[in-house]
Amino acid sequence: MTKAKFVIIGWGVLTILMIATRTYAVDDLSEQRQRANSDDGQSREEVCFHADARALVIQNIEPNKLRVGGRELRVKRNPVGKGCFVYDPRTKFFGVDRNLVWWVPKEGKAYPLNSPSKMVTPSLKWPREEGVDSPSLSAVVAYVFEGKAMTASAPNQPPALPKGSAYTVKEYRIYRAVIDTPMSASEAQAYPNAAIQYGVTVTQARKATEKVQESLSRNGWFGSPATEIQHASDWKGEKP
């Protein structure tokens, strides 16, 4: 065999080995993602982090009326910041819409981002309780549950909403009426019931609920009803 032929054959074998190795690596990463319930881990290290983040949230789940145990939880990477998002891909629980999502910025730290996730993991603290600026809830929900692109927030941006966008006492009470709807009632009942109770349309009840939840999230106001209502622009000592 000539030297030229030997070189050609050698390069051919090397090419085949490189392709086989690359294919194995891709298949191996895909398998790791599947085991970790990771949607998009980009490396073995990130997939391992996703698995740990998911386990951390599950460890803090307590008996709850949504009957969430953690088996269904999945993980998405944070494309514009630290950590990842752990979420339940289900969005309906006993006929009522709920988005359960947690932010895990680093190993050993997990934060609920809305009322349903806090209710499922009551021992986990809100980001604000530890002085942590969390991603916008609306942006996270749109990214995780609707597949929309997520953009980075401006650094050191204050969490307060623009002037005039705070909710009213009535809007807060509509919000409470909707989220406190028993799990036995369907979404088709939650908004109409609140609308009838407070003399608004179903569309207005839905918009008020979304407005209050966004305000609570962006300002770090999640807490007990007695404290949340105090942030209403027209609050004058009323009870929730």
109 lies in some domain: yes
- Looking at 86, 113, 146, which one is the last position of a domain? 146
What global pTM score does this model have? 0.61
26 lies in some domain: no
Does residue 156 carry a pLDDT above 50?
no
> Residues 41, 43, 46, CA angle at the centre, nearest 5°?
60
Same domain, 92 and 57: yes
Same domain, 142 and 48: yes
Whole-number pLDDT of residue 137: 87
- Distance in angstroms (rounded) separating the CA atoms of residues 39 and 151: 19
Which domain range does residue 125 map to?
44-146
154 lies in some domain: no
Q: Tokens in use for 49? A: 């982090």
Same domain, 141 and 84: yes
What's the whole-number average pLDDT of the chain? 82
Does residue 30 carry a pLDDT above 70?
yes
Does residue 16 carry a pLDDT above 70?
no
Q: Residues 159-188: what's their mean pLDDT?
A: 75
Residues near 231 by Cβ (< 8 Å), separated by ≥ 6?
166, 167, 215, 216, 219, 221
Q: What is the chain's Cα-based Rg?
A: 23
